[in-house]
Amino acid sequence: MKTVYKLLGSSLLIFSSSGYASDPATVASQFEAALLCQAEAIDARKPEVVKSLNEQNIEVKNLDEELIELEYHFAKPLQILNVTVSRVRYEGDSGSYFFATAKGDMDAFAKSIGAKPIPENLQEMLLWADIGEYYKYAEPVTVENPYPNTVIIGRNEESKPGEFYFGCEKFDY
């Protein structure tokens, strides 16, 4: 599995540097890798990246000119593991969140990636927009890296039935 993510990360680097994805499958793989903290978030603040995504039927909305606040809408929803994704958001200031609105079985999704319920002692730190129910660290917690990139999974009062959020939380420290 790690080899797959290394390959996905490599393809994302190519996308990031060139601004162009080669095909829809590559774009889906890039979003999946970024949402699961295996690659950098897709940053569509550059016109050439927006153009490339638009060519793949992905609408990009820049909701704030100063901070990172982007929204990606997929004309054809992505299948990521066992869920369907039609929208992704990227928010950043001090740290960042790259997260999807997904439809499917949240518990089965969490289990499929090896996520665990958030214990009470981590609730405050891993509570992201009131949605934290499951988490998975992308790398080990160490003295040098006390807040590793973390996949957060959950829902809030705005979630529709069968809908949940998941994505990568990155800490600045």
Give me the pLDDT at residue 77, please: 94
146 C-beta neighbours (distance < 10 Å), count: 9
Matching residue, tokens 């969140």: 97
Beta carbons of 95 and 171 less than 8 angstroms apart: yes
56-80 in b/e burial notation, b at 16+ Cβ within 10 A? Answer: bebebeeeeeeebbbbbebeeebeb
Beta carbons of 5 and 20 less than 8 angstroms apart: no
Q: What are phi and psi of 96, to 5 degrees?
A: -155, 160
6 C-beta neighbours (distance < 10 Å), count: 13
pTM equals 0.82
Q: Per-residue DSSP letters for 69-85?
A: EEEEEEEEEEEETTEEE
Question: Of 94, 74, 91, which Cα lies nearest the Cα of 32?
Answer: 74
- Domain-by-domain residue ranges, the chain? 2-170
173 C-beta neighbours (distance < 10 Å), count: 7
DSSP character at residue 171 = -
Residue length of the chain? 173
Phi-psi region of 38 (alpha: psi -120 to 50; beta: other; left: phi over 0): alpha
The token duo for 1 is 């599995």
Give me the pLDDT at residue 13, please: 43
Beta carbons of 152 and 134 less than 8 angstroms apart: yes
Per-residue pLDDT of the chain (173 residues; tens, 9 = 90+): 444 444 344 444 434 444 445 566 788 899 999 999 999 999 999 899 999 999 999 999 999 988 899 999 999 999 999 999 999 999 988 789 999 999 999 999 999 999 999 888 776 666 665 667 899 999 999 999 988 999 999 998 888 999 999 999 998 76
